[in-house]
Chain A
Amino acid sequence: MALFTPNLSFKTATFNSSLFILPATRHQRLRLNRCSRSLKLRASVAVESPSTSATEHVGSPELLLEVKDLSAVISESKQPILKGVNLTVREGEVHAVMGKNGSGKSTFVKVLVGHPDYEITGGSVTYKGQDLLEMEPEERAVAGLFMSFQSPVEIPGVSNIDFLNMAYNSRRRKLGQPELGPIEFYGYIAPKLELVNMKVDLLNRNVNEGFSGGEKKRNEILQLAVLGADLAMLDEIDSGLDVDALCDVAKAVNGLRTSKNSVLMITHYLRLLEFITPTYIHIMENGRIVKTGDISIAKVLEKEGYKAISDA
């Protein structure tokens, strides 16, 4: 069963997001609230509880990512950052991770894509049934795991379109498909540019070099649109965007969603969550997910800050 209509119209979603939450989702969420009160703070509890079984609804979404007790340190200093993170993402779900500055949100997603700055010290991560931590970063990417960087790095001397072409061809090669030359490739990405409403001349500039904050974010989403992803992890894709840009980016993300692929977004603001409706919201604190719930958490947060959450 599709949790989300594939090409969910962005405008409708803005005005009445709850309209699109299907019964199955609501059901899960109820259980989740109950569980979270009992302090078993795992996103996965909903599916692990006895009341949920594979037979409950036909075509129950498959497990995509399962993170268990993940802990990680900074490779250089051995300083612990992640201290036992648990999270389960199924196909078609949208998860949001919120939390104070420095709580470990970016570290969490960077660890998942294999960033060399961090060392795993415990726990496990299963992605599509495979041990994710055994895979090279580029293998993870080709397997459909995508992270948009909170601050994408500039790469002088490498043009944006060449970079995209290289990335796209790596994927095609792995899939045993013929690679695309520069001209064919341009034909392929032209419509994607429209999708993210990005200026064509940014393609010929060097990767992120001299891009404005908003242009960098759009460029990350362009990469997502070009490469596709089964699990797109978007780290503060909304920071530094003007209202129109936020609409463009959210619209693009929604446009890319299907019943199969999932989104995990890190954000500080309710606003993005009103555009891209999350199935779950997780609160991270000091390297752990300490609370999981629905959009109401974000609303409380927006009004009363993190204090209200911790006290609950």
Chain B
Amino acid sequence: MVISILPPIVHPPTALISQSLSSCLPNLLTPRSKSTPRTSKARVFTQSQTLAILSDPHVLQLAETLEDSLQPSSSPPLPPLQKLRDISSQSLLSTSWPSRKDEPFRFTDTSFIKNSHIEPISPSESQSLASLPVSSDTLLPLHVTILDGYVVDSLSQLSELPDGVFVGGLSSLNSEVTMKRVSEYAPNFQGDLFWLLNGVGAPDIIVVYVPEGCRVESPLHLKYFSLKGSEKDSKILPISNPRVLVLVEKGGEIGIVEEHTGVDETDKCYWANSVMEIVIGNGAKVSHSYIQTQSLDAAHVKWTSVRQESTSIYELTEVSTGGKLSRHNLHVQQLGPDTVTELSTFHLSIGDQIQDLHSKLVMDHPRGVSRQLHKCIVAHSLGQAVFDGNVQVNRDAQQTDAGQLTRSLLLEPRATVNIKPNLQIIADDVKCSHGAAISDLEDDQLFYFQARGIDIETARKALIISFASEVIERFPNTCVQNKVEGLVRKLLDPTPSSR
């Protein structure tokens, strides 16, 4: 069992942040200015003028491949998409492939992607496969199917959307007013290499727009399927770059269920490089369910970037079980007072795989509330879990109430978990709590089952499931809850013989 918990960093209001941070958190110290060039050999903090010199040829080549793959259509891309592409390719010039020496990738080895031959997937390939019965399962009435990053209208059901709500590709957005709003917001640069590659490679921006005061009753299911995959050991990774912008105006409300999955049982190799940006207006609410069950040979890199205006509510519930390499970058920024953020995530590593959550929550305004619960189970001796949970409570964020709790369960001898909870508190009138625990199952609990006649294997399974349930129970939709629970049960106990 390999465990590393880095000491949580809690700064009193007047702490000498630069000094204490620089020793252990070099990269989190400086605001993430991505214009800072780096080489993979050494971190060189130089001025942005020298950018071009430090370009990473590998990255440039990949960016070029992605650009070339985009269909030259008759009309030029719409302004928001063009803007996104411009900003992204510009920044890519100065971005190198992350190495283990870069703090955000210290425990997450991305060389598996780097060493593969990346092949963009063209829309025709996907559309021809659209006849596959990938959409027979209609968990929720409102749904959009996204195959390898492309919306498939024939497999989507949106007829019950309230007036003024738009869901679909930017290219099919007809309302000028909505287009204007979308242009104002997208894109908001703050990501890393993967964010930028998505910006260059995304064929379209899929927009979810909820107008002022509108409550969308039924949750919207975004079904992302990765159809195209290569054989294991082929060293070829077909890449998809789905990009979604969720824009909920003042007082609006919507539930989003994001589900990322492969299509068949056999484990295909592919790279899903997905980005979702969410903008939540004053007093608006987004309840976000995120389920990731990709192939165990796939790479899944995901950005979720959320901007919350005052008195808004954002609730995320995540369960990730798939991918050989799965990385979720979750950034939430509270942009006004009295804002509520709740993050509940569960990661499961049942094979030779890595599950990584890098979350960052920035609280800049008074009376913000945040609750974060991260749990993970590593059930394989080659399995790994990584959690870096940063919470910043800045100077003006007085009377903030921030809580972070992480628990990990290691079920095999060499299972690995790397945990770095870190609270950075600069305001002085705040209530913050955090906790990190790594454990095996509780003996007393196991014995309680046995004392009632339940054999130890059944008891173990029940306790492991119960560990995950704490997060699964938070999915607001019961259909989603049941589906995910069934799935997690199956993964943890592939042979449900004895019960």
A5 to B467, CA, bound (A): 46
Does B466 count as interface, using CB distance less than 8 angstroms?
yes
Q: Are A116 and B466 in contact (CB under 8 A)?
A: no
CB within 8 Å of B: which A163-204 residues: 163, 166-167, 170-171, 174
CB within 8 Å of A: which B253-297 residues: none
Residues in A with CB closer than 8 Å to B447 are: 115-116, 137
Does B465 count as interface, using CB distance less than 8 angstroms?
yes
Q: Are A227 and B453 in contact (CB under 8 A)?
A: yes
Known contacts A142-B453, A155-B463, A227-B453: A170-B448 contact under CB 8 Å: no
Does A225 count as interface, using CB distance less than 8 angstroms?
no
Residues in B with CB closer than 8 Å to A114 are: 450-451
Q: Are A141 and B453 in contact (CB under 8 A)?
A: yes
Contacting A171 at CB < 8 Å: which of B442, B449, B453, B469?
B453
Q: Are B470 and A167 in contact (CB under 8 A)?
A: no
Contacting A166 at CB < 8 Å: which of B445, B454, B456, B468?
B454
Q: Are B462 and A167 in contact (CB under 8 A)?
A: no
A174 to B456, CA, bound (A): 15
Nearest Cβ on chain B to A236's Cβ, whole angstroms: 16
Does A223 count as interface, using CB distance less than 8 angstroms?
yes
Tier of interface size on chain A? 20 to 34
Does B455 count as interface, using CB distance less than 8 angstroms?
yes
Among the 9-residue stretches A31-39, A54-62, A145-153, A242-250, the one with 4 or more Cβ atoms under 8 Å from chain B is: A145-153
Q: Are B453 and A158 in contact (CB under 8 A)?
A: no
0 or 1 for each of A133-148: is its CB under 8 Å from B? (1 = yes):
0001110011000010
Does B452 count as interface, using CB distance less than 8 angstroms?
yes
A167 to B449, CA, bound (A): 8
0 or 1 for each of A256-288: is its CB under 8 Å from B? (1 = yes):
000000000000000000000000000000000
Q: Identify the interface centre among A113, A170, A207, A227: most chain B CB within 10 Å of its CB.
A: A170
A156 to B449, CA, bound (A): 13
> Which chain A residue has the least Cβ–Cβ distance from B467?
A157
Nearest Cβ on chain B to A282's Cβ, whole angstroms: 22
Nearest Cβ on chain B to A150's Cβ, whole angstroms: 12
Does B183 count as interface, using CB distance less than 8 angstroms?
no
Does B458 count as interface, using CB distance less than 8 angstroms?
yes
Q: Are B443 and A137 in contact (CB under 8 A)?
A: no
> Which chain B residue has the least Cβ–Cβ distance from A157?
B466
A138 to B467, CA, bound (A): 22
Q: Are B445 and A137 in contact (CB under 8 A)?
A: no
Residues in B with CB closer than 8 Å to A153 are: 442, 444-445, 448
Q: Are A141 and B466 in contact (CB under 8 A)?
A: no
Residues in A with CB closer than 8 Å to B468 are: 157
Nearest Cβ on chain A to B317's Cβ, whole angstroms: 15
> Which chain B residue has the least Cβ–Cβ distance from A164?
B452
Nearest Cβ on chain A to B472's Cβ, whole angstroms: 9
A113 to B447, CA, bound (A): 10
Q: Are B444 and A223 in contact (CB under 8 A)?
A: no
Residues in B with CB closer than 8 Å to A166 are: 449, 454, 458, 462, 499
A155 to B456, CA, bound (A): 15
Q: Are B462 and A137 in contact (CB under 8 A)?
A: no
Contacting B466 at CB < 8 Å: which of A152, A156, A171?
A156
Residues in A with CB closer than 8 Å to B499 are: 166
> Which chain A residue has the least Cβ–Cβ distance from B455?
A138
Q: Are A138 and B454 in contact (CB under 8 A)?
A: yes
Residues in B with CB closer than 8 Å to A171 are: 453
Residues in A with CB closer than 8 Å to B466 are: 155-158, 206
Q: Are A157 and B450 in contact (CB under 8 A)?
A: no
Residues in B with CB closer than 8 Å to A136 are: 450, 455
Q: Are B469 and A157 in contact (CB under 8 A)?
A: yes
A174 to B453, CA, bound (A): 10
| A-B contacts besides A114-B450, A166-B462, A170-B454, 19 pairs, CB < 8 Å | A115-B447, A136-B450, A137-B447, A138-B449, A138-B451, A138-B453, A138-B454, A138-B455, A138-B456, A149-B448, A157-B467, A157-B468, A158-B469, A163-B462, A166-B454, A167-B449, A174-B453, A206-B466, A227-B453
Give B residues with C-beta under 8 Å from A: 442-445, 447-456, 458, 462-463, 465-470, 499
- 10 closest A-B pairs by CB: A157-B466, A141-B453, A167-B452, A137-B450, A157-B469, A170-B453, A142-B453, A138-B450, A158-B466, A153-B444
